[in-house]
Copies of this chain bind each other. A is one copy, B any other.
């Protein structure tokens, strides 16, 4: 990614734990996304150890190409935290104790029951002269910004939630102010779909997309939760916003049967909204997903308002016993059949005294496939509103993917019924 116009940035992550592969460099990735979206593309990323020479060399190299360098890690209170003194030395700046930081540290320790400030933590109040201090509301290491010859080096701690909240609260504002006229932020709008493969969705959208303005680019992002369609446009003084609205208008009708949310909402978030609005509750009888559907539902706090519970009927005896599925149906139609799924959905609705019930049975693999029911065959059904709708699908992938896709499909089918979009 070469950018000759505008402003470019670089990211340096410091820490021996990264170099031995004990920790993933999630900070580097997170910052890359944020900086790209802010309109300052990242030209390079580095991982370096807790070594003053390496830290200085890396920051110097990064500054050769970029006017903005974000450094994370190495701001802690122990002897292996070397970013602060290394950067001070690099720019020939003295480290000066900042009294207001000392007071903040002292008060922080006193609230968690320590009368005295540990001597070790004092170094965290030492600031290279002239540096801008970024407050850290969630930890002891303040962030620092050093401006030198028109370039900016931003130091942030390595603890992800501290680093992220400091970036969002303070660094974003700093970047916007300092580089304003040269930034071109990226706008994104993501439409999440289920129940249609990537290639078919692309085909259905072909005509719509051919009408998109040239500043909008399109990405299809397939995943276990379905296919997301991401539209991207440069902000360009507001023009991008208009372009995205225009595109959304074009694709709305085509997407309607598949789209369950825009942005970051999961199928469960959307389903929860519908259920709460309609004051309905549901229950799940699942076989090969083995608790996964219930787990996804109860991941959300407050799910007891619309989720009664579930039965994991992992063997045939449990299906006929606890769920009370007619054995003759299982024998005649097979345990993996739309008929059994439909009975599971009906029975779980009754047993749990729910408004709706999901039933699911199938073969998650890697073993157990047959000619008629290969690995990945999933039958699922939704009961409620005096009807049962059942489905039979074959999902691709390994055991984990098949289970995730099956759970998603079953939840999406309930969502479609609740939003009156079933076929």
Contact = CB atoms under 8 A, between A and B. Distances in A.
A293 B366 CA distance: 21
Interface stretch (A31-39, A131-139, A236-244, A388-396): A31-39
Interface in A1-51: 1-2, 16, 18-26, 28-36, 41-51
Contact of A1 (B24, B51, B310, B322): B51
Contacts of A367: 301-302
A400 interface: yes
Nearest to A297: B290
Given A1-B49, A2-B49, A42-B19, A298 B291 contact: yes
Q: Report copies per complex.
A: 2
Contacts of A364: 301
A25 B25 CA distance: 7
A2 B53 contact: yes
Contacts of A312: 284, 291, 294, 298, 309-312
Interface string A401-422: 0000000000000000000000
Q: Number of contact residues on A: which range applies?
A: 35 or more
Contacts of A43: 19, 49, 54
B294 A304 contact: no
Interface in A179-236: none
A317 interface: yes
B36 A21 contact: yes
Contacts of A289: 295, 298
B25 A21 contact: no
A380 interface: no
A365 interface: yes
Contacts of A266: none
Enumerate the 7 nearest inter-chain pairs by beta-carbon distance, A residue then B residue, closest first. Answer: A290-B298, A291-B294, A21-B33, A21-B32, A291-B291, A45-B47, A1-B49
25 contacts: A18-B45, A19-B36, A19-B42, A21-B29, A21-B33, A24-B26, A25-B28, A28-B47, A43-B54, A44-B46, A44-B47, A44-B49, A44-B58, A289-B295, A290-B303, A291-B297, A294-B314, A298-B314, A299-B399, A304-B315, A308-B318, A309-B311, A309-B312, A309-B313, A318-B352
